[in-house]
A = this chain, B = another copy of it.
Amino acid sequence: MSPKITTELLKQLRQVMKNPKYVQEPVQAYIVPSGDAHQSEYIAPCDCRRAFISGFDGSAGTAIVTEQQAAMWTDGRYFLQAAQQMDNNWTLMKMGLKDTPTQEDWLVSVLPEGSKVGVDPFIIPADQWKRMSKALRSAGHDLVPVKENLIDTIWADCPQRPCKPLITLDLSYTGVSWRDKIVALRSKMAERKVMWFVVTALDEVAWLFNLRGSDVEYNPVFFAYAVIGMNTIRLFIDGDRMMDPAVREHLQLDSTLEPEFKIQVMPYGSILSELQAVGAGLSPKEKVWLSDKASYALSEAIPKAYRYLTPYTPICIAKAVKNSSETEGMRRAHIKDAVALCELFNWLEKEVPKGTITEIIAADKAEEFRSQQKDFVELSFATISSTGPNGAIIHYKPVPETNRTLSVNEIYLLDSGAQYKDGTTDVTRTMHFGTPSAYEKECFTYVLKGHIAVSAAIFPNGTKGHLLDSFARSALWDCGLDYLHGTGHGVGSFLNVHEGPCGISYKTFADEPLEAGMIVSDEPGYYEDGSFGIRIENVVLVIPAETKYNFKNRGSLTFEPLTLVPIQTKMIDVNLLTQKECNWVNDYHQKCREVVGAELERQGRHEALQWLIRETEPLVRVQ
């Protein structure tokens, strides 16, 4: 991977930073966040402005360009990748390390007195604006909104915003109709005494209307906003796809409906002016509810006294707790996904020794097997297919320049998943196609112990996911090892593979408590720079736990793995496991064999079935 040469681009950007055509007054710094106007994690090509200006195309990062310097903040997953993709114009700011300054502190340290710092108000979330604006102001600088995106002004061949057809989801997938979701939302609004709710996150719009799209790769969402009043529903979406008869039927656009369920369709670009009109027409005590992660631009459209901001919207919380139709769909999707991976690993086992399988070929083959499964739509994220040292790049994606050939001498890490119409998958397995070293097995086994510690944890109702994070690390910590990422994230149901408001990470504190029906990933790892990466990831469902006692009648929860793909026993040093851990692995493998075995049988995939049976032989622990 050779770095992008950005000297000329930065020169152009620094020119527009003082061009009165775009800025009222010159800005001494310009912030280029990762996100789009919906604060999406995965973004459309037209929104990849940070990657355009810097070359670094990981999923998380913020660029700041001043008159003299250019700096990029990103987290542990991307330290190596960012260093490789950026040229010498850029300073890498490693977030999470003790000596790394925050963006605010850095700006204060480098800016001349009384500077202006510009940012696109549609791209920066309201909460970040507030924090940064306050920090800058207290040091004598100003954060200013720059209406025209300055990157767009220098991006000659910027792609068009996508506008792809929609998919309608019926009750068998969603369990709840969009009308009932609107009713539930309005009841939450009434509880909080708000009159309007603004839906800004793309997955929240998609979930609310039981629609899916493909405007953004990997996330089945479409560019839209919605504004829900107590008696009105406005959907801001570009119009031609609203001509699809299936969509019109699904949204009952041509039916005679009670007025409060009549959807008014408006152009995507009119959200700001419509919201400003709503803001201007409010009577005292009429509040408007927005996420505090909504863009500064939209948040400012509502006068401050009328704004009701919360970190998590009622849609975000309702969406996280899957109903039985969604849970059953997720189960089906994970069984199909396991079928595809059994096929893949069986195939790799035969092909890798021939020395012809590269990371990209393996990733493509995984996609091919998945695409053979019913209701497959697309991948749920860019496949991380990595062998040897590439495995230590936590969010690696193979490209021709880095593409390595799988061999019997190196560890292979595959983190992949798909969108099926009935559910979203995300699974990581770490395999060795030859003979792993004792050290590799040792590290793998610590990671496995952490994985089991979370998966088998029993905890009281009301517990937040971040309180479980250390369980995943304990075995690694005992030996002086660790990994620099969180342990788990929420997973959508045929929606974004990363979703809030729950997760398992030492980094958060404001996560919502885990509840039965929530779905998260459990994915501890260990990475040795330049050598190998290990990660074991299952998607798990929060379920009630039966316990011997029941303190204060609080009830307990635990996890049920939805992912049912064998964990390579060859990589396990069984003598490092306790008997309980050993039983967990054997029970898990027994379930893989039964459930996925039956599906392989049904699909007539006999060779993969034989592989599954071989890979799920019980471990025996020498006492």
Q: Give the interface of A toward B (CB within 8 A).
A: 98, 457-460, 462, 467-471, 474, 476-482, 506, 509, 545, 547-552, 554, 556, 578
**Nearest B residue to A467 by beta-carbon distance?**
B470
CB-CB < 8 A to A556: which residues of B? 477, 480
In the complex, which of the residues B467, B506, B547, B578 contacts A506, with contact meaning CB atoms closer than 8 Å? B467
A462 near B98 with CB under 8 A, answer yes
**Nearest B residue to A481 by beta-carbon distance?**
B551
**Nearest B residue to A546 by beta-carbon distance?**
B480
CB-CB < 8 A to A547: which residues of B? 478-480
Q: Shortest distance in angstroms between A496's beta carbon and chain B's nearest beta carbon?
A: 26
Q: Shortest distance in angstroms between A492's beta carbon and chain B's nearest beta carbon?
A: 26
B506 near A550 with CB under 8 A, answer no
A478 near B460 with CB under 8 A, answer no
A-B contact pairs, 11 of them (CB 8 A): A458-B477, A459-B477, A460-B482, A467-B469, A470-B470, A470-B471, A479-B547, A480-B548, A480-B550, A482-B552, A509-B509
Protomer copies: 2
Cα A417 to Cα B479 with chains together (Å): 35
Question: Assuming A470-B471, A482-B554, is B457 touching A477 (CB within 8 A)?
Answer: yes
Cα A335 to Cα B481 with chains together (Å): 35
**Nearest B residue to A509 by beta-carbon distance?**
B509
Cα A299 to Cα B551 with chains together (Å): 43
Cα A549 to Cα B460 with chains together (Å): 34
- Please give 15 more A-B residue pairs, beta carbons under 8 A apart, in addition to A98-B462, A476-B551: A457-B474, A458-B477, A460-B480, A460-B482, A467-B470, A468-B470, A477-B556, A479-B547, A479-B548, A479-B549, A480-B548, A480-B549, A480-B556, A481-B549, A481-B551
Question: Assuming A470-B468, A470-B470, A470-B471, is B462 touching A478 (CB within 8 A)?
Answer: no
**Nearest B residue to A510 by beta-carbon distance?**
B509
Among A477, A481, A548: residue with most chain B CB under 10 A: A477
CB-CB < 8 A to A482: which residues of B? 460, 551-552, 554
CB-CB < 8 A to A549: which residues of B? 479-481
CB-CB < 8 A to A552: which residues of B? 482
**Nearest B residue to A468 by beta-carbon distance?**
B470
CB-CB < 8 A to A467: which residues of B? 469-470, 506
Cα A191 to Cα B479 with chains together (Å): 36
Cα A506 to Cα B467 with chains together (Å): 7
Cα A320 to Cα B479 with chains together (Å): 27
CB-CB < 8 A to A550: which residues of B? 480
**Nearest B residue to A508 by beta-carbon distance?**
B509
**Nearest B residue to A513 by beta-carbon distance?**
B98
Cα A547 to Cα B473 with chains together (Å): 14
**Nearest B residue to A443 by beta-carbon distance?**
B549
CB-CB < 8 A to A480: which residues of B? 458, 460, 545, 547-551, 556
Q: Shortest distance in angstroms between A233's beta carbon and chain B's nearest beta carbon?
A: 29
Cα A578 to Cα B459 with chains together (Å): 21
10 closest residue pairs by CB, A with B: A480-B547, A509-B509, A480-B549, A479-B548, A467-B470, A480-B550, A481-B551, A482-B551, A459-B477, A458-B478
Cα A217 to Cα B229 with chains together (Å): 59
Q: Shortest distance in angstroms between A536's beta carbon and chain B's nearest beta carbon?
A: 18
**Nearest B residue to A484 by beta-carbon distance?**
B552
Q: Shortest distance in angstroms between A444's beta carbon and chain B's nearest beta carbon?
A: 14
CB-CB < 8 A to A471: which residues of B? 470, 474
Cα A471 to Cα B474 with chains together (Å): 9
CB-CB < 8 A to A460: which residues of B? 477, 480, 482
Q: Shortest distance in angstroms between A127's beta carbon and chain B's nearest beta carbon?
A: 15
**Nearest B residue to A461 by beta-carbon distance?**
B98
Cα A305 to Cα B259 with chains together (Å): 53
CB-CB < 8 A to A481: which residues of B? 549, 551
CB-CB < 8 A to A462: which residues of B? 98
Among A469, A480, A482: residue with most chain B CB under 10 A: A480
Q: Shortest distance in angstroms between A521's beta carbon and chain B's nearest beta carbon?
A: 19
Cα A209 to Cα B470 with chains together (Å): 39
Q: Shortest distance in angstroms between A434's beta carbon and chain B's nearest beta carbon?
A: 24
CB-CB < 8 A to A468: which residues of B? 470
CB-CB < 8 A to A459: which residues of B? 470, 477
**Nearest B residue to A526 by beta-carbon distance?**
B551
CB-CB < 8 A to A554: which residues of B? 482
Q: Shortest distance in angstroms between A169's beta carbon and chain B's nearest beta carbon?
A: 33
CB-CB < 8 A to A469: which residues of B? 467
Q: Shortest distance in angstroms between A236's beta carbon and chain B's nearest beta carbon?
A: 29
Cα A479 to Cα B554 with chains together (Å): 12
Q: Shortest distance in angstroms between A10's beta carbon and chain B's nearest beta carbon?
A: 31
Q: Shortest distance in angstroms between A452's beta carbon and chain B's nearest beta carbon?
A: 13
CB-CB < 8 A to A476: which residues of B? 551
Cα A460 to Cα B473 with chains together (Å): 10
Q: Shortest distance in angstroms between A438's beta carbon and chain B's nearest beta carbon?
A: 13
